[in-house]
Structure 1
Amino acid sequence: MSSGDEADLLNIDYSGAKRKFEPESPIESKRSCKDFDDTSTESLARTVARDVLRQRFGMEAFRLQQERAITRLLEGDSCVIIFPTGGGKSLCYQIPALCFKILDTKKGERQGPAEQGITLVVSPLIALMKDQVDALRRRGISAAVLDSTKSREEYLATVDSMRNGTLDILYCAPERLNNEGFVASMANVRGGVRLLAVDEAHCISEWGHSFRPDYLKIARFYREIHAERVVCLTATATPAVADDVRRAFDIPEAGLFRTSTYRSNLHLYAQSYMTKKESYPQLRAFLKAHPGSTIIYVTLQKQAEELADQLRSHKFKTRHFHAGLRPDEKTTCQEAFMASKDMVVVATIAFGMGIDKADIRNVIHYAAPSSLESYSQEIGRAGRDGKVSHCLLFLCADDLHLRESFARGDLPSKSSVARLLREVLSLKPSAPPENHIEANLYQQGREFDIKANALGNIYAQLELRFDLLRATTPKYTKYSYKQLKNTDWDKSPAATALRKITKKAISNHNVDMESAYPKTGMPRAELISKLNAWNDENFIQLTAGGVVNVFRVSQPSEWPPNTNASQEIIDALYKDMEMREVQELKRMDQVVRLISDKACFSRKLAEHFGDSLPGNAQECGHCTWCETHKAVEQFTPPGASWDGPAFLKVLEACPERDDPRYLARVAFGIGSPRVTMAKLSKSSVFGSVSGI
């Protein structure tokens, strides 16, 4: 199903009439959440929440601050929840989602058809969303997820359940908020969005460790759809990041619920070495001394595969996991790990999100984590059963050198950013009223050598900070399909038009959708609808790709900005990008200082998150410092002499020398869109001077 189809499908007024969404126009208000509060009492909310917990989730009591946060939400207020990994954050929106209808019934409110609204959950993790939906359905709870894998029938069923009021919880990814049809449907859903839940909410903060540009738009979305309340959830947020999230949604300090990051069953250890090779014998010794389910984190996909091979050669039951594996390989690895009591998985950080395994005995960072937030989140996957578990961090000089190179390698050159911005600002929007421009972010990333996250942030800033653009529904440019059954019987106008613009390749049929209307006079939406119908009826196996982001110009009368304004935008954007680079390097230094300072690891980690050890203790008694009272030594890589011949070979391999950062990436072995396009990552010169 294409994003364009989805916009048509979801752009529904749930009172029965079709309605076009105009972001600048006032959106019809829902019933105020204060109306909901008029006859509600704290004791009633608590009683209903406890009943739902027992009857629907089989638990006898809430943990930590769950009950206080849930009660606040049921009384109509918003909150920010910061619980450690495994701390029960998801119950803080799942319980209210089920309580709303019960409280409405007890108070005699919202008793009309479909007047009780839905809870909407925004999460970046598709696999985790699917797992939660499956778990909720097994409990008889009506939940659904909207993602790109859903068929037309599944979308229609979800829309129908929203219309008739039988859906309790809907999950979606933050990127879906760029779909104007989806925004319209949420703004007009009957009964309203009772609760907007934002998972991984630290991604909202531009200075958080895992900032995602699409998360910046959630606060605007919250206001546009008039959601009654919001709950922001994360396991890792410093006081500054928590304040950032609160301010984004105007949540007072009283709405912040934080529980201690300290877990007494996690024993934190660290060792330092000059090279990975020196550390390997100690890794093997540790695994023999501490058997059990283990995750070992590394930086690169190649490292995951090589280390897994090494451990298998020493008779450890080991698998590797990284983002480059096929979906079936990932599933097989995860299922084997979940079922095993002693498997070791060597993985990049792609592994672990949504892995709800209580008996993970060890989490080993064979490569230093990029931040204390990442470290805290990853060690939090160990020992959820409350039993003693061990977390070991290897600090290797060559690994820190690699991490620093990656951090510096993410920043594009200012000339690249300037060229990109000037191209964007020179694009001519289509005729009113659309005023749309199209941007192929994949192609721009390669052309200007700007990585995906940085490129996404540039467009997000143009949209939110400078109010020049508004992201709308993206579209696919490439459709291809494999013929499973004959479709010659279909003589419909759309089928006839498709045959005119389809070319047969060796195994696939490629559809030239860009030439569809000029050649056939048939609207794009009807052609895509026909392809989807064939796909759903198993006549073809359809693949869509080549996403082009579409933006509406917010200020057409002032487009394009004048030269002075354009330069001010370029300067401001690049200054922010430079500050992000400084922040990344600072986060790496915080990881090093955690284990190299003369202090308790657990206490320093707690203090980073504005916390302390129980009773304000100075030592936990079970980390490397507490057991030895010796600081872990920090090694510095030895200096290397300049290798002129090696760099000359880099120059020979790079005839285009318009960007010094591009040459440096090739020389030091740092990937980028342009490096990939030039196929230099497989060249012998890639990383040939990385020892300098």
Structure 2
Amino acid sequence: MSDNEYDDDVFGDFELEDDDVFDGIGEDELAELERPSKRPKVEALSEVKDDAADNHGHLALAERLLSTQFGYKSFRHEQAAAIQRVLAGDNALVIFPTGAGKSLCYQIPAIAFPELDRAESKGKPTDAGVTIVVSPLIALMKDQVDALKKRGIPADSIDSSKKWEELQVIYDALGKSQLRILYCAPERLNNEGFVETVKRIPGGIRLLAVDEAHCVSEWGHSFRPDYLKVARFVDEIKAERVICLTATATPKVAEDICKAFSIKPTCVFRTTPYRPNLELQAKTVCKDHDGDISVSLGIMLGFHVKSKSDKRFEELFNFLRTNPGPTLVYVAMQQQCEIHAEVLTKQGFKAAPFHAGLKTEHKQQVQEDFMSGKVDIVCATIAFGMGIDKPDIRNVVHWDLSNTVEEYSQQIGRAGRDGKPSRCMFYLAPSAFYLREVFARGDLPSRTSLAALVFDIFKEALGVSVGGIFKTNHYRQQKDFDIRPSPLSVIYATLELHFGLFRATTPEYSDYKYEPMPAYFRIISQDKSPAADAVQKNSKKKVKWYSIDVNEAATKGTGLNRADIVAKLTQLDQQGHIKLQASGLTNRYVLQKALPKTHNEKQKVVDKLYDDLANRERDALQRCKEVMELITGSKCFALSLAEHFGMGLPDGKVKCGHCSFCLTGKPIEPPKLRVTKTTASSIQQVLKATDVRDDPRFLARVAYGIRSPRVTFLKLDKSPVFRSLADHDFEALLAEFTKACEKKGRS
């Protein structure tokens, strides 16, 4: 992905919890925030456990740790109820708004387990086990770990930013039961070495916390198949209990999470997303172009930032001058981040860009500058905000249409965590609709591409008996069948979940190599285990690195399996005796039942998959429509937002009193779109640029400006025809290119 394109490869947008979110809000307002809860607090507490003594003891312990370790006088909302459930051994789901203190719901139990063990004589304190937190973003992990370490709580994270030496220290601490909390990304759960290591942690996994748990649900706004594997990981490592946490779960999503992790209805804890100090505002701009998408798109990309027609920038300048303070400006594209930061800087603002295309060090510097006040405004894609523990953000500006109501809710939740008045401005312009359609339309492959992929998957499994394992290479399939990584993952998940054809298992690396450290040869010669012997006999030296085929090593009459060899290599690496590198990731699947054999049977699978993906595209477009309905509807913004999550405003109110609708009494008028009529000459220009005639959706993508693996491979994204018809209707383009392909097929 180029630096000028969309951040659609970023994993959602994630927030760091801040327990000071309601500081500065009066007692009466705090009481109002409690009332919408569907479960009275006393009832929730009384249900924690039948044994009243244990229940009281757990609460007393939690309150003491809250005070001594975190410096708070009391729990807020339903934190105490959720914590008591976990300490009592139950699984739980916590649905709190951004910044309302979800993290305490697993941090308190994590440091309480050693004391519980001592009190209940369940083992030595040194074997108190560990709490694993599955979290999707390195920035979030880093902030959380740093904050915990400052409080004297032993915590760390395993992520791609860690150096080899740092990982050795972490693994050593895990082996000695010296860590209470370990953060890792969901993708880490697929690493066979990590899984084997976790299984051997003294004291076991006391608690698994699943952050951003809405990603488990196929109905969620950020569904990711990798999250489906978390539930299986719980079983593999025999985690004692699970707590799921999210700020954006609709009732349907909450139901899915509970089903995945066996969470009882009485163990669901929810508080209202309403924040009384946030002023939700919106404004329609660029009306003078009568909705001309091509002109608005040019403005958005910075082609006319100095022209008189650039109304939206003037609106932004005025807003920021009227409302000074730390500000987040959310845009949809990486190039916009750069342009906006440059334009704002020229206007005298201290602004910086932030997006997934920047180097890690650059992003870290921007974050640090924002936290310290050297930068007042960050112009960002959804990649920013997830690890920001900054309570005094005064403004959140949406330059483009949010993907979903949930995304909008998360992003505005980053404002005003100190309880002081903060403003959230949403600008509506024609270009926003184009961008959201690009995001929505980019993931649906053509039926032809999908059929070729499915037949390829079945070919890979040919000859494998039920219960056996077959392997596939996702990277190759993306390139060969013009399918993006995200929909490819969804396709595999659908074949697994809905068809029951196979089950994803731990991926494996085809190539292992290691660099021996000074003590390695002495250690390996003294290790009399069969696995150490297999490593020693099957390693081949290549300059300073040794390579080993772990599959071959496990099949030479040793009586070992692949996992034993991997576990030994991982152990040597973690002990600092070798520097281990694994490459050539191969996805592995266990065949669950016989695959379709006839062409018609296979085609039925293709048709079902295509219908499913087409429904996802429609759902994505519908979610954008829901955002528009919230902003332009005849209702209080805050009420609409609360109702989206199945709740309401405090005391049954129907108005917040300070959003755009409440202040004006009128709905926001949406921008009027003028879509250019498709002509034969415009279609011919695209057809002249490429000889592809087997995929009308591919041609429509080129004309509309949507990248795909094939578009990039053919370098058509560099052609003048790429995005040349962005101001046309996508369905009309698809229809015209379908005719062109059919005509070619008849000739």
For 1:688, the equivalent position in structure 2 comes to: 724
How far apart in 1 are the matches of 2:321 and 2:164? 51
In the other structure, the counterpart of 2:23 is none
Greater RCO (Cα-Cα under 8 Å, separation 6 or more): 2
Question: What is residue 420 of structure 1 aligned with on the other side?
Answer: 453
Deviation at 1:355, TM superposition (A): 0.8
Tell me what 1:66 maps to.
Answer: 79
Describe the superposition over 1:446-479 as per-residue Cα deviations: whole angstroms up to 9, x where unpaired.
2211111111112223334434334344345689
What is the CA–CA distance in structure 2 between the aligned matches of 1:232 and 1:609, rounded to whole Å? 17
1:130 to 2:163 alignment: no
Q: Secondary structure at the match of 1:474?
A: strand
Which runs of structure 2 are paired with 1:549-588 in the superposition (5 Å)? 549-555=587-593, 558=594, 563-588=599-624
Picking from 348, 363, 368, the partner of 1:315 is 348
Match of 2:189 among 177, 202, 206: 177
SS in 1 for 2:606: helix
Please give the residue correspondences for 1:343-422 in structure 2 after superposition, counting only pairs within 5 Å: 343-422=376-455
Give me the TM-score of the superposition, normalised by structure 1. Answer: 0.84
Deviates more, 1:284-293 or 1:118-127: 118-127
Of stretches 162-171 and 281-290 in structure 1, the one that deviates more from structure 2 is 162-171
Cα shift readout 1:206-258 (whole Å, capped 9, x = no counterpart): 01101111111222332343322211100111111112211222222211111
Query: What amino acid maps onto 1:588 in structure 2?
Result: C
Tell me which residue corresponds to 1:141.
Answer: 153
Aligned with 2:423: secondary structure? strand
Name 1:446's counterpart in structure 2.
479
| Greater Cα shift, 465-474 or 315-324 | 465-474
1:213 matched residue in structure 2 = 225
3-state SS in 1 of match to 2:99: coil
Tell me the secondary structure at the aligned position of residue 41 of structure 1.
helix
Of 125-134 and 594-603, more deviation after overlay is shown by: 125-134
Match of 2:357 among 298, 307, 324: 324
State the partner residue of 1:499: 542
Q: Distance in 2 between matches of 1:232 and 1:295?
A: 28
The Cα offsets for residues 596-634 of structure 1, whole Å up to 9 and x where unpaired, read as 112111111111111111111111111111111121111
In structure 2, the partner of 1:246 is 258
Q: Secondary structure at 1:73's aligned position in 2?
A: helix
1:664-685 per-position Cα deviation (integer Å, ceiling 9, x unaligned): 1110111112212222222221
Instruction: Measure how far apart 1:371 and its partner are.
Output: 0.7
Map 1:31-50 to 2 at 5 A.
41-50=54-63
Q: Deviations over 1:539-597 (max 9, x none)?
A: x9x98765332334345xx3565545433332332222122112111111111111211
**Range moving further from structure 2, 473-482 or 605-614:** 473-482
Aligned partner of residue 345 in structure 1, secondary structure: strand
AA partner of residue 573 (structure 1): L
CA RMSD after TM alignment: 3.8
The separation in 2 between residues aligned to 1:75 and 1:533, in whole angstroms, is: 37
State the one-letter code of the partner of 2:72.
Answer: M
| Aligned mates of 1:619, 1:52 — CA distance in 2 | 39
Mapped contact 2:118–2:124 kept (Cα < 8 A) = no
Question: Which of 615, 618, 624 is residue 651 of structure 2 equivalent to?
Answer: 615
Query: Given that residues 429 and 553 in structure 1 are in contact (C-alpha distance below 8 angstroms), is that contact kept between their aligned partners in structure 2?
Result: no
Q: Distance in 2 between matches of 1:666 and 1:360?
A: 40
**Which one of the candidate residues 91, 101, 121 is aligned to 1:78?**
91
Q: CA deviation at 1:202?
A: 0.5
Who is 2:699 aligned against?
A: 663
CA contact (8 A) 2:513 2:548 kept: no
Partner SS state of residue 551, structure 1: strand
Partners of 2:161 and 2:333 lie apart in 1 by: 28
Whether the 8 Å CA contact 1:40–1:75 is kept in 2: the answer is no
Compare 171-180 and 473-482 and name the one that shifted more: 473-482
Q: 1:269 maps to what in 2? A: 281
CA drift of 1:647 comes to 2.8
Cα distance in 2 for residues equivalent to 1:605 and 1:246 = 23
**Match for residue 101 of structure 2?**
88
Aligned to 1:455: 488
What are the superposed Cα offsets for residues 16-48 of structure 1, whole Å, 9 maximum, x if unpaired?
Answer: xxxxxxxxxxxxxxxxxxxx9979611100000
Query: In the alignment, residue 101 of structure 2 is paired with which amino acid?
Result: G
* Alignment partner of 1:288 is 2:321: yes
Residue 121 of structure 1 aligns to which amino acid in structure 2? V
Shift of 1:273: 2.4
SS of 2:240 mapped into structure 1: coil
* Higher mean C-alpha deviation, range 265-274 or range 675-684: 675-684
Q: Deviations over 1:518-555 (max 9, x none)?
A: 9xx9x9979x969x979x899x9x98765332334345
Map Cα deviations across residues 464-506 of structure 1 (whole Å, 9 max, x no partner): 4434334344345689999xxxxxxxxx989994437x9xxxx
- 1:4: which partner in 2? none
> In structure 1, how many angstroms separate the alpha carbons of the residues matched to 2:683 and 2:538?
57
Distance verdict in 2 for CA 1:497–1:73, change over 3 Å = closer
Residue 493 and residue 82 in structure 1: after superposition, are their counterparts in 2 closer, same or farther (change >3 A)?
A: closer
Cα distance, 1:166 vs structure 2 = 2.6
* 3-state SS, counterpart of residue 716 of structure 2: coil
Other structure's SS at 1:681 match:
helix
Instruction: Check whether the contact 1:207–1:583 (CA below 8 A) recurs between aligned residues.
Output: no
Structure 1 residues 228 and 475 mapped into 2: Cα distance closer, same or farther (>3 Å)? closer
TM-score by length of 2: 0.78
Aligned length in residues? 640
Give the 3 Å change call, closer, same or farther, for CA 611–226 of structure 1 in structure 2.
Answer: same
Q: How far apart in 1 are the matches of 2:598 and 2:610?
A: 19
Name the SS of the counterpart of 1:598 in structure 2. Answer: coil
Q: Deviations over 1:361-406 (max 9, x none)?
A: 1000000101110000000000111111100001112211221232
Q: Aligned equivalents of 2:199 and 2:582: distance in 1?
A: 28
Corresponding residue to 2:338 among 305, 313, 324: 305
Aligned pair in 2 of structure 1 residues 512, 302: CA closer, same or farther (>3 Å)? farther
Contact 1:600/1:618 (<8 A) preserved? yes
Instruction: Compare 442-451 and 140-149 and name the one that shifted more.
Output: 140-149
Q: Is the 8 A contact 1:426 1:560 kept in 2?
A: no
CA contact (8 A) 1:292 1:342 kept: no
Counterpart selection for 1:474 from 493, 507, 525:
507
Counterpart of 2:21 in structure 1 is: none
Q: Structure 2 vs 1, CA of residues 513 and 668 (structure 1 numbering), >3 Å: closer, same or farther?
A: farther
Change (3 A) 1:60 1:572: same
Structure 1: tracts of 5 or more residues without a match: 1-35, 483-491, 503-508
Please state how far the C-alpha of 1:190 moved relative to its aligned partner: 4.2
* Structure 2: stretches of 5+ with no match in the other structure: 1-48, 287-295, 301-309, 516-534, 729-747
The 3 A distance-change label for structure 1 pair 147 and 468 is farther
Counterpart-to-counterpart distance in 2, 1:110 and 1:481:
40
Change (3 A) 1:514 1:633: farther
Identity of aligned residues (%): 47
